[in-house]
């Protein structure tokens, strides 16, 4: 099994030349994030991910988390490594200094999260949910909630959860039935069950802060009647010390296909009495708006999981292909066996993985970059435009990257041949772990509906059209030496624009609009990834001309970008007909005959 090697050279390249940190450090909030400081931060994060976290991946998968006498026991190595994670302050990187955070851009924090997720995705889920919970409270919590809960969550001493789903209400959050009854002391009593709650119970932290969607007695039906409540595992005294156990507990842990070490809990609130003590977050009946703050942060984090697991699987596949001998490659001596990396089909698989991974990295980092500018840019007009861009890129990051995560980890199994199908090699775990990312935080079909139903109509369609014009400008601005990349990108943008125009015309025909949503998201993600690769190639070409950087790395950058442009980007043309086919054939067969 291959050890994890943080891809620091590529991460730094993207941060320096595709989503340039030099732009962010001009902002007052990020002026301290100087290149040398960020480089040292990433180096240390990579070392911690590779040396401390990555070795826990296999035993975590084999032991899993389990429910014992009402408590969740995590794998043996997790408590030690989580303590190291807290002591090193990795959970605090992106949070504000007033809560003892590092105040670094999300763009930098995302690079840290990528490496931690590659090292052990199941482990990374606990910090992922905690970060989202902190982010929600920063935007919607009261001053008392901020000062009581957020510092401990920023440090990682306490963790957070997102409690939405119920047995009868999966993606249809408006159907939740958990109740919140006002109490005389200004708190609420929460009763009901939530399912699929990641790290809903565990033994890593002193307290767990549940963010729970529930209905007040006078709540209107649907999502407009949902409120949000903070429900701690242990009640917290005024001085910040922990009090008695709240009536919120795990009553089951799922046995899953992958991420075995991440406890996916069924949570019972009020199982033993009048209800769990909860505190209203924000205004009554405004819970979904607040929760979307956390959900959108988590969606980008889940998109990173597709990238991160694909990277880990790629490293293992490439190492195996260099070591495994099988058959004789063209040009090899007679009677000799060649490393399988010399066979054309294996090269095709490895380059497909590498090019897709580099494209995903440019997309997810650009998504974080837009969020940094949306929150911190000086010009309010720029902040508004960058928020729209972030909103547009989020469903692409979440869905396109996690779909690719499944496909690329599958390719990694294929590179291993029969050994990939054997658990001992470890590559099968990446495949099993990757699948969940396409399901949770809004299934990828829902992300596609969000893209065509909410993001496409921004500014009457003008925003997306303007963004496509920017992608076309990227294609036309490439130097002559990169003409093949430019032509492929320009043609892909043309097909994407045709699909966009057709879908926009279907805004009053939701069945046809939604029928084309998933192939459209695939088109859009592939093209945006292609534009990121084109920008990478242009930067590499410029640096070569200036005699700067690692020449071999820069030439590889151009080669991989050209492979993406000529062998992966043409997929978008085949998707155009699928986007514009309409829904007739989808509904031509009666449901009971499917």
- 11 within some domain: no
51 has a pLDDT exceeding 90: yes
| Least confident span in 44-53, 318-327, 484-493 | 318-327
Structure tokens at 467: 């963004």
Which H or E element spans position 453?
none
Dihedral angle computed from the Cα positions of residues 308, 311, 316 and 318, in that order, rounded to the nearest 10 degrees: 180
Separation in Å, CA 559 to CA 20, 60, 397, 556? 22, 37, 24, 5
Boundary of a domain, candidates 227, 254, 285: 285
- 308 within some domain: no
pLDDT tier, 223 (very low <50, low <70, confident <90, very high otherwise): confident
pLDDT tens-digit readout, 77-134: 999 999 999 999 999 999 999 999 999 999 999 999 999 999 999 999 999 999 999 9
- For 259-279, letters b (16+ CB in 10 Å) and e give bbbbbbbbbbbbeeeebbbbb
171 has a pLDDT exceeding 70: no
Give 366's contacts (C-beta < 8 A, 6+ positions apart).
18, 19, 393, 528, 532
Q: Which residue has the tokens 């406890």?
A: 263
Question: How many other C-beta atoms are found inside a 10 Å radius of the C-beta of residue 500?
Answer: 22
pLDDT for 298 equals 92
214 has a pLDDT exceeding 80: yes
Catalytic residue among 441, 481, 546, 551: 441
pLDDT for 327 equals 86
pLDDT tens-digit readout, 472-499: 999 999 999 999 999 999 999 999 999 9
Q: Using an 8 Å Cβ cutoff, are 572 and 399 in contact?
A: no
Range of the domain at 271: 55-88+120-285
Helices 462-476, 380-395: axis angle to 10 degrees equals 80
Report how many domains make up the chain: 2
- 455 within some domain: yes
pLDDT tier, 331 (very low <50, low <70, confident <90, very high otherwise): confident
pLDDT for 174 equals 67
pLDDT tens-digit readout, 527-569: 999 999 999 999 999 999 999 999 999 999 999 999 999 999 9
Which H or E element spans position 332?
none
Boundary of a domain, candidates 241, 257, 285: 285
pLDDT tens-digit readout, 373-388: 999 999 999 999 999 9
pLDDT tier, 335 (very low <50, low <70, confident <90, very high otherwise): confident
Q: How is 47-107 classified by DSSP, letter by letter?
A: HHIIIIITTHHHHHHHH--EEETTEEE--HHHHHHHHHHHHHTGGGTTS-GGGT-----HH
- 569 within some domain: yes
pLDDT tier, 410 (very low <50, low <70, confident <90, very high otherwise): very high
pLDDT for 170 equals 64
- 379 within some domain: no
Query: Bridge-partner residues for 269, per DSSP?
Result: 192, 248
Dihedral angle computed from the Cα positions of residues 524, 525, 528 and 530, in that order, rounded to the nearest 10 degrees: -110
pLDDT tier, 69 (very low <50, low <70, confident <90, very high otherwise): confident
- 47 within some domain: no
pLDDT tens-digit readout, 73-90: 999 999 999 999 999 999
Question: How many other C-beta atoms are found inside a 10 Å radius of the C-beta of residue 473?
Answer: 11
Q: Using an 8 Å Cβ cutoff, are 273 and 247 in contact?
A: yes
Boundary of a domain, candidates 285, 316, 343: 285
Separation in Å, CA 514 to CA 180, 210, 400, 566? 35, 34, 17, 29
Rounded-to-integer distance, Cα 465 and Cα 72, Å: 50
| CATH number of the CATH domain containing 175 | 2.40.110.20
| Averaged pLDDT score across all residues of the chain | 95
pLDDT above 70: percentage of residues in the chain: 99
- 74 within some domain: yes
- 83 within some domain: yes
Question: How many other C-beta atoms are found inside a 10 Å radius of the C-beta of residue 483?
Answer: 10
pLDDT above 90: percentage of residues in the chain: 91
Which H or E element spans position 230?
strand 227-232
pLDDT tier, 176 (very low <50, low <70, confident <90, very high otherwise): confident
Dihedral angle computed from the Cα positions of residues 193, 196, 201 and 203, in that order, rounded to the nearest 10 degrees: 170
pLDDT for 254 equals 97
Annotation marks residue 441 as catalytic: yes
pLDDT for 1 equals 63
Burial class (CB in 10 A: 0-12, 13-18, 19+), 5: middle
pLDDT for 124 equals 98
């Amino acid at each position: 099994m291959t050890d994890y090697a943080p891809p620091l050279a590529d991460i730094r390249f993207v941060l320096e030349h595709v989503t340039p940190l030099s732009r962010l450090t001009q902002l007052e909030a990020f002026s301290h994030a100087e290149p040398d400081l960020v480089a040292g931060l990433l180096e240390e994060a990579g070392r911690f991910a590779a040396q401390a976290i990555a070795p826990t991946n296999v035993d975590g998968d084999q032991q899993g988390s389990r429910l014992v006498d009402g408590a969740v026991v995590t794998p043996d190595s997790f408590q030690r490594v989580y303590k190291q994670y807290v002591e090193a302050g990795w959970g605090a990187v992106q949070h504000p200094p007033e809560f003892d955070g590092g105040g670094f851009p999300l763009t930098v924090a995302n690079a840290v999260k990528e490496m931690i997720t590659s090292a052990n995705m199941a482990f990374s889920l606990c910090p992922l949910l905690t970060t989202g919970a902190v982010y929600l409270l920063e935007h919607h919590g009261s001053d008392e909630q901020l000062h009581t809960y957020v510092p401990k969550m920023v440090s990682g001493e306490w963790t957070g959860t997102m409690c939405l789903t119920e047995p009868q209400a999966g993606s249809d959050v408006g159907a939740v039935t958990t109740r919140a009854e006002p109490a005389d002391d200004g708190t609420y009593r929460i009763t009901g069950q939530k399912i699929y709650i990641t790290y809903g119970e565990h033994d890593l932290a002193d307290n767990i802060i549940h963010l729970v969607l529930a209905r007040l007695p006078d709540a209107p039906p649907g999502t407009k009647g949902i409120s949000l409540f903070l429900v701690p595992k242990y009640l917290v005294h005024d001085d910040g010390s922990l009090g008695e156990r709240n009536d919120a507990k795990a009553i089951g842990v799922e046995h899953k296909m992958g991420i075995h070490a991440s406890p996916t809990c069924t949570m019972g609130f009020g199982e033993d009495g009048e209800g769990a003590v909860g505190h209203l977050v924000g205004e009554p009946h405004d819970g979904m708006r607040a929760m979307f703050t956390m959900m959108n942060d988590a969606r980008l984090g889940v998109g990173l999981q597709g990238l991160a697991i694909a990277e880990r699987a790629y490293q293992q596949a490439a190492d195996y292909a260099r070591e495994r001998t099988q058959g004789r490659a063209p040009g090899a001596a007679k009677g000799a066996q060649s490393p399988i990396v010399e066979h054309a089909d294996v090269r095709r698989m490895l380059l497909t993985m590498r090019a897709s991974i580099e494209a995903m990295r440019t997309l997810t980092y650009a998504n974080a970059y837009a969020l940094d500018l949306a929150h911190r840019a000086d010009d309010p007009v720029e902040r508004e435009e960058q928020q729209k861009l972030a909103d547009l890129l989020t469903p692409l990051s979440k869905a396109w990257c996690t779909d690719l995560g499944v496909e690329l980890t599958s390719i990694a199994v294929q590179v291993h041949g029969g050994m990939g199908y054997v658990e001992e090699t470890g590559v099968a775990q990446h495949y099993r772990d990757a699948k969940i990312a396409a399901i949770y935080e809004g299934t990828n079909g829902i992300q596609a509906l969000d893209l065509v139903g909410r993001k496409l109509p921004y500014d009457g369609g003008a925003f997306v059209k303007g963004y496509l014009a920017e992608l076309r400008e990227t294609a036309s601005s490439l130097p002559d030496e990169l003409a093949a990349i430019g032509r492929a990108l320009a043609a892909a943008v043309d097909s994407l624009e045709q699909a966009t125009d057709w879908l926009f015309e279907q805004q009053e025909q939701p069945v046809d609009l939604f029928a084309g949503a998933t192939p459209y998201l695939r088109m859009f993600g592939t093209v945006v990834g292609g534009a990121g690769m084109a920008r990478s190639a242009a930067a590499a070409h410029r640096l070569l001309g200036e005699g700067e950087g690692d020449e071999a790395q820069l030439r590889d950058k151009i080669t991989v970008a050209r492979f993406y442009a000529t062998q992966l980007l043409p997929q978008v043309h085949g998707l155009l007909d699928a986007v514009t086919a309409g829904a007739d054939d989808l509904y031509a067969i009666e449901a009971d005959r499917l």
